[in-house]
Structure 1
Amino acid sequence: MWFKISTYLSFLLKSTNQHGVHSPFVYSLVTKCFYKKTNFTKIILFKEIKKFLKNNHSKIEVSDFGKGSKVFKSNTRKVSDIAKIAGISTKKALLLIRLVEYFKPKNILEIGTSVGLASCALSIGNPQSKIKTLEGCKNTAQIAQQTFEKFHLNNIQLNIGDFNSTLPKIIEYNNFDMVYFDGNHQKEPTLNYFKECLKTAHNNSIFIFDDIHWNKEMFETWKIIKQHPKVTVTINTYFWGIVFFRNEQLKQHFTIRV
């Protein structure tokens, strides 16, 4: 708890808004995406999907391949609780929608589907994109697939299995413009996924790392990613770490309040 409090206070002291940004690329992103209002129709659709999942009180057995939950004491969980506690927050989902809308990535990879809330946000952001999402637990994946089908989100392809097996195969046969990392909150696996996904990164790729302040391990991971020689621009929004590979820019790190 103290770690999160101290890092949040540090974030507040270091963070800025658009007035403290001296990069035209980042300034445009902040003013035209971060601080822009989300399309009302897209808000309504996402909230409808979230309500649908929060109204599902059936229980499933969850296979957790990551760090594990700080809240759940059992692997038998209600779908509604997973959506409420472990699913992406509405604030983050709407920002994710705006990011996809802004950059219009054609091919998106999500590492960690859970019950599919973030996947839905990616799809809503750009229905023309092709989204591949990876999930280790077959029971949560089944709930996600049912949700995609109910809301006719036909641009999402779900892949089930251990990431160490599914990720290399996906990377081998696809190129991705955006990768959303939300499948493991441990240092070594996250760095391994990052290194694997670097094989598909190009000059305009965007990597988004969820929960970079989740614990000391994740924050250390974020600092290592920032220093990678292929990384040129990073943005710390506290809940996300966003990475760019723009060769035309000098290496810069930004801390932005959203």
Structure 2
Amino acid sequence: MSFFLFAAEPQGLLDFFLTWAQINRTMWTALFSFYRRAQSGRKIACPALQEWRELVLEDRREFYCFSVLEGQRDLLRHDSRPIQIQDLGAGSRKSAPKRVSDLARRSLSPSWQAQFLFRLINFHQPNTILELGTSLGISALYQHAAKRSAQMISIEGCPEIHAIAQKNARLFGASASLQLWQGSFAELLPSALKQLGQLDYAFIDGHHLRQPTLDYFEACLPYLGPNALLVFDDIYWSEEMQSAWEELKAHPKVSYSIDLGWAGCLFLGPRPQGWPQQLELVPFWAKPWS
């Protein structure tokens, strides 16, 4: 679920208006509370933060892969093939989609979010990448494209969705460094972590419940590199996810965090001088007076 004020650019408005009616009162309250607290960060005297804002949060450049991947997204949104969903987990409050197009419109990370993830990896340059929640593969390909040489494993639970993601990876021309695994997170995560060895970056986007979210974090901890970055999607999805986020950002291994509203970033490396330990951040256009 995405909230328009925290998109990387105003194109997220359409996604917001299409989904606004589905947001429950708990999420409404939490997101508006977040927005009241959040700032653009422009007034913080920290060169490292200003560089991160300019090159990750607010960069408007069109990178080489954006048009190709948005073309693939458009094909999926018009794909009328029937699809059988094995398990939606805790990631949906609606009935299972019957066609690929329904799933693409409902479950794919919007373009502004996927492009944010591309810029995030392009900036931090991790050598190993983990994604929990491949869906149809668009976000995985955005992250893979940001550093094609990085060893990346993305895990999807549903066999039919996984098969479509594999086809999308072939169409995109993904390198052998990207592996798409099919199975449950709990069963495959230990093997994925062992294969990656050291984990530099993870995007956790699935199974939106408090305890599984905390369990995935704890499983990753022994493998995290000295400058690891973990991104948790939908941190305001429910009271359980809000509770999980509060615990995660307060963990003693976490050096500092950024709450973006739609997702939360945890940093394990040394905190730059002047960078707040816990920061709630929105793009300048969303709150220009802050």
C-alpha distance after superposition, 1:126-163 (max 9, x if no partner): 22222110111111100100110111112320111111
Equivalent residue letter for 1:112? G
Deviations 1:164-218 (A, max 9, x none): 1100111123222110001210111111001111121122111000000111110
| 2:80–2:99 Cα contact (<8 Å) kept | yes
Among residues 226, 240, 246, which one is paired with 2:249 in the alignment?
A: 226
Deviations 1:49-68 (A, max 9, x none): 21121122111111226214
Matched residues in 2 for 1:26 and 1:64: separation? 40
Contact 1:233-1:249 at 8 Å conserved across structures = no
Does 2:281 correspond to 1:256?
yes
Percent identity over paired residues: 27
Which residue identity lines up with residue 30 of structure 1 in the other structure? R
Quote the residue 1:171 is aligned against.
Answer: 193
Partner of 1:107: 128
The reply to whether residue 244 of structure 1 matches residue 246 of structure 2 is: no
TM-score, length of structure 2 as denominator length = 0.83
The farther-off stretch of 199-208 and 120-129 is 120-129
- Is the Cα contact below 8 Å between 1:100 and 1:125 reproduced in 2? yes
For 1:248 and 1:16, how far apart are their aligned partners in 2?
Answer: 19
Distance in 2 between residues matched to 1:19 and 1:55, nearest whole Å: 41
Q: Do the aligned partners of 1:208 and 1:243 also contact (CA within 8 Å) in 2? A: yes
Q: Over residues 229-254 of structure 1, what are the superposed CA-to-partner deviations in whole Å (9 max), with x where a residue is unaligned?
A: 00011000100100100235587000
CA distance in 1, matches of 2:109, 2:170: 19
More displaced 10-residue stretch of structure 1: 173-182 or 217-226: 173-182
Structure 2 residue corresponding to 1:13, chosen from 36, 39, 42: 36
Query: Is residue 2:167 matched to residue 1:142?
Result: no
Verify the 8 A CA contact 1:119 1:133 in the aligned structure 2: yes
- Tell me, in whole angstroms, the C-alpha distance in 1 between the residues paired with 2:85 and 2:158: 6
Q: CA RMSD in A?
A: 1.7
Look up the SS of the partner of 1:60 in the other structure.
coil
Matched, 1:26 2:79: no
Q: Which runs of 5+ in 1 are unaligned?
A: none
Structure 1 letter corresponding to 2:186: N
Show the 5 A alignment for 1:1-258: 1-64=24-87, 66-71=89-94, 73-74=95-96, 77-154=98-175, 155-174=177-196, 175-247=198-270, 252-258=277-283
Count of aligned residue pairs for this structure pair: 256
Runs of 4+, deviation exceeding 6 Å: none
Q: Deviations over 1:9-56 (max 9, x none)?
A: 111111111324344433321122211123343321221121121122
Structure 2 unaligned residues grouped into runs of 5+: 1-23, 284-290
Distance change (3 Å), C-alpha of 1:67 and 1:141: same
